Structure 1
Amino acid sequence: MTRTDRPAAVVGTMSVLDRFLPVWIGGAMVVGLLFGRMVPTLGEALGRVELDGISLPIAVGLLVMMYPVLAKVRYDRLDTVTGDRRLLIGSLALNWVVGPALMFAVAWLLLPDLPEYRTGLIIVGLARCIAMVIIWNDLAGGDREAAAVLVAINSVFQVIMFAGLGWFYLSVLPGWLGLEQATIDTSPWQIAKSVLIFLGIPLVAGYLTRRYGEKAKGRTWYEDRFLPRIGPWALYGLLFTIVVLFALQGDQITSRPLDVVRIAVPLLVYFVVMWGSGILLGAAMGLGYARTTTLAFTAAGNNFELAIAVAIATYGVSSGQALAGVVGPLIEVPVLVGLVYVALALRARFPDTRRAPALTKEF
């Protein structure tokens, strides 16, 4: 391991914002929970204005979070990703075969006596990544173009398969196994709207920004001057989203700590197993560090905004299913931040020698 490959050396190249990211995220969670607990009417006020069933402040935070990363994507390189069949097949298998089945299994094994939370977790397992995973992938030095393609493909599959898989895992499979059955009430159009808003808008904005920015000022100006200016806004958007999200549910989370712990355990198992499966599969297929990292994070990440919206629309804002959806990012955020550092520590074990492009002063 060379000096520059050591995790400490990699961390030393990060900006202050990146280096202390776990601290900022932890602080954002605490601030949100305190706001939600100290100002009981805050959640109602924040949730009064919605965009596709999601509180408008959360929607704004998600859009701000995703735009800078998608503006960094080299859209002229996407053909190198779409031509990698191993990566695409591996991602589809992890996301649409392994992921839902794993969440179903851990939810039933660890929450057999809590049907509302169990149903909420199964819905989380069906909602595949489209938002925060782009941030984790970038911080870990994953392949930015591959992440954009995999997120887009998973979004299309989400529109097509979410309702059908929900019916299968909540009604059909439990019936076959002699377990308690549940229902899910959502439509492909409802899911499509969520995907179009939270992925489509920042994706189009990022593409147009790069196309016309490079055309007007050139690629050197765009990548050396413009991107470093907008880069930090991805993490600002992330922190803002976390504050608002936990402010909305602060009272429920702080008043039911034991329930939160029960929900957290299967989520922790799920995130770690999915990420580890992605790393092992990518390494076995010889994808190299960047694409293996992208495969792992896109497999482990979930579309919590869709899961929460579906749970609220189907079961109500104060339901156990909705609480399970909210606890999702409470566990996902710190766990996947930790896995970013694990990925960096594993980088030297991969045969390719490419450096992670995201861990610079861009952020």
Structure 2
Amino acid sequence: MSAPPQEEASVVGKLSTLDRFLPVWILAAMAVGLLAGRLVPGLGEALGAVAVDGVSLPIALGLLVMMYPVLAKVRYDRLDSVTGDRRLLVSSLVLNWLLGPALMFALAWLLLPDLPEYRTGLIVVGLARCIAMVVIWNDLACGDREAAAVLVALNSVFQVIAFGALGWFYLSVLPGWLGLPTTGLDVSPWAIVRSVLIFLGIPLLAGYLTRLLGERAKGRDWYESTLLPRIGPFALYGLLFTIVILFALQGDAITSQPLDVVRIALPLLIYFAVMWAGSYALGRAVGLGYGRTTTLAFTAAGNNFELAIAVAIATWGATSGQALAGVVGPLIEVPVLVALVYVSLWLRRRLLPTIDPAPEEPRRA
């Protein structure tokens, strides 16, 4: 469904400078992080010295700052309209907990048969479904915020229940059935619960209380027209800060092992493209509109790199190939999913009807 040229120009023109040049800022953040990690002696060790649940404290703070403004924008009184959408919920469960892990397992074995550490790291990344950064991509692509909140919470519940069992199946059971080498995954359910509570629970509670108390004090109009524009940009500030720290932590490893990074990146690129495009196709096939199709696609394509990195470090060590594969995950995911944000906005104007309630247009982060 095409929009008139004047409407498209109006949408682009109303975007904030931060939003309009987002790819530039992200590329700059990557470059700054890589240079800092490469040129400043001991920076990576210093940044990783203090950890929260196995994740560097600066990264943890960046993620919390990144997620809070987006979750403060969610209209929690509308969540019941999402929880009643069985098409969306069933599609999300199938994509995240059946197809996603299976696809990553297949790609890891097909493309990294001679690199067992990297292969195992990628399989762990595929098992860790996204509960954090996806809220940014969904918001930038004008997806359904309320649907994103519900699907992220659903992923969190299944992460606690299924992560350990799926890790055992994909690393020990299925390879044995196929006559392939097996490995183990030593992760406690409590470690996963802690990850969910920290990286989803804290910003979700803060966002909910901010809306509840803000609307009670001054009303919804003031909250959405005055307060949200003030705190909104901090989501992207947190994202850019997190990217700088991620690249700084692994700057030396990335630049000193470029061929290994390329080998790890290839299955990741295929994974993100297939999961995102397949989710879009499924959303349209089951009759979802743009907002919920977009949310379905980004929640299925993204991964919980915080959990994957923490598990890899706890099980195999911070300098292991599994940990490097976990870190390369978000380094590839960030630019790819930013590009898919723009693809999504293009599809919004040309292909997908708005069947479910559409968010206001455009949004400022």
Q: TM (normalized to structure 1)? A: 0.97
Provide the rounded CA distance (Å) in 2 between the counterparts of 1:355 and 1:282. Answer: 15
Provide the rounded CA distance (Å) in 1 between the counterparts of 2:14 and 2:287. Answer: 27
Equivalence for 2:262:
261
Q: How does 1:246-285 map to 2 (within 5 A)?
A: 246-285=247-286
On the 8 A contact 1:139/1:358 being kept in 2, the answer is: no
Q: How does 1:1-363 map to 2 (within 5 A)?
A: 1-3=2-4, 9-347=10-348, 348-352=350-354, 356-357=359-360, 359-360=362-363, 362-363=364-365
Provide the rounded CA distance (Å) in 1 between the counterparts of 2:331 and 2:25. Answer: 14
Provide the rounded CA distance (Å) in 1 between the counterparts of 2:145 and 2:167. Answer: 30
On the 8 A contact 1:3/1:9 being kept in 2, the answer is: no
Provide the rounded CA distance (Å) in 1 between the counterparts of 2:233 and 2:150. Answer: 23
* Structure 2, gaps ≥5 residues long: none
On the 8 A contact 1:61/1:237 being kept in 2, the answer is: yes
Secondary structure of residue in 2 paired with 1:182: coil
Q: Which amino acid aligns with 1:29?
A: M
Q: Which amino acid aligns with 1:57?
A: P
On the 8 A contact 1:138/1:358 being kept in 2, the answer is: no
Secondary structure of residue in 2 paired with 1:180: coil
On the 8 A contact 1:112/1:118 being kept in 2, the answer is: yes
On the 8 A contact 2:136/2:235 being kept in 1, the answer is: yes
Q: Which amino acid aligns with 1:59?
A: A
Secondary structure of residue in 2 paired with 1:359: coil
Q: Which amino acid aligns with 2:362?
A: L
How far is 1:351 from its partner?
A: 2.2
Provide the rounded CA distance (Å) in 2 between the counterparts of 1:357 and 1:292. Answer: 16
Give RMSD over aligned pairs. 1.3
The change in CA–CA distance for 1:3 and 1:52 in structure 2 (over 3 A counts) is same
Q: Which amino acid aligns with 2:309?
A: I
How far is 1:148 from its partner?
A: 0.3
How far is 1:29 from its partner?
A: 0.8
**Residue deviations 1:91-145 (CA, integer Å, cap 9, x gap):** 0000000000000000100111110000000000000011110000001010000
How far is 1:9 from its partner?
A: 4.9
How far is 1:6 from its partner?
A: 6.8
**Residue deviations 1:295-336 (CA, integer Å, cap 9, x gap):** 000000100011001001111111110000010011100000
On the 8 A contact 1:10/1:344 being kept in 2, the answer is: no
How far is 1:11 from its partner?
A: 2.9
On the 8 A contact 2:112/2:263 being kept in 1, the answer is: yes
Moved over 4 A (4+): 4-9, 353-356
On the 8 A contact 1:103/1:270 being kept in 2, the answer is: yes
How far is 1:47 from its partner?
A: 1.2
Q: TM (normalized to structure 2)? A: 0.97
On the 8 A contact 2:37/2:43 being kept in 1, the answer is: yes
Percent sequence identity over aligned pairs: 76
Q: Which amino acid aligns with 2:266?
A: V
On the 8 A contact 2:95/2:300 being kept in 1, the answer is: yes
How far is 1:255 from its partner?
A: 0.3
On the 8 A contact 1:158/1:191 being kept in 2, the answer is: yes
Choose 8-17 or 295-304, whichever is displaced more.
8-17
Provide the rounded CA distance (Å) in 2 between the counterparts of 1:173 and 1:254. Answer: 34
The change in CA–CA distance for 1:303 and 1:6 in structure 2 (over 3 A counts) is farther
On the 8 A contact 1:33/1:247 being kept in 2, the answer is: yes
Provide the rounded CA distance (Å) in 2 between the counterparts of 1:172 and 1:11. Answer: 50
The change in CA–CA distance for 1:287 and 1:132 in structure 2 (over 3 A counts) is same
Provide the rounded CA distance (Å) in 2 between the counterparts of 1:90 and 1:149. Answer: 13
Q: Which amino acid aligns with 1:359?
A: P
Provide the rounded CA distance (Å) in 2 between the counterparts of 1:52 and 1:115. Answer: 25
How far is 1:5 from its partner?
A: 8.1
Choose 341-350 or 230-239, whichever is displaced more.
341-350
Provide the rounded CA distance (Å) in 2 between the counterparts of 1:170 and 1:243. Answer: 32
Q: Which amino acid aligns with 1:211?
A: L
Provide the rounded CA distance (Å) in 2 between the counterparts of 1:313 and 1:128. Answer: 18
Provide the rounded CA distance (Å) in 1 between the counterparts of 2:331 and 2:10. Answer: 29
Q: Which amino acid aligns with 1:195?
A: V
Provide the rounded CA distance (Å) in 1 between the counterparts of 2:34 and 2:144. Answer: 34
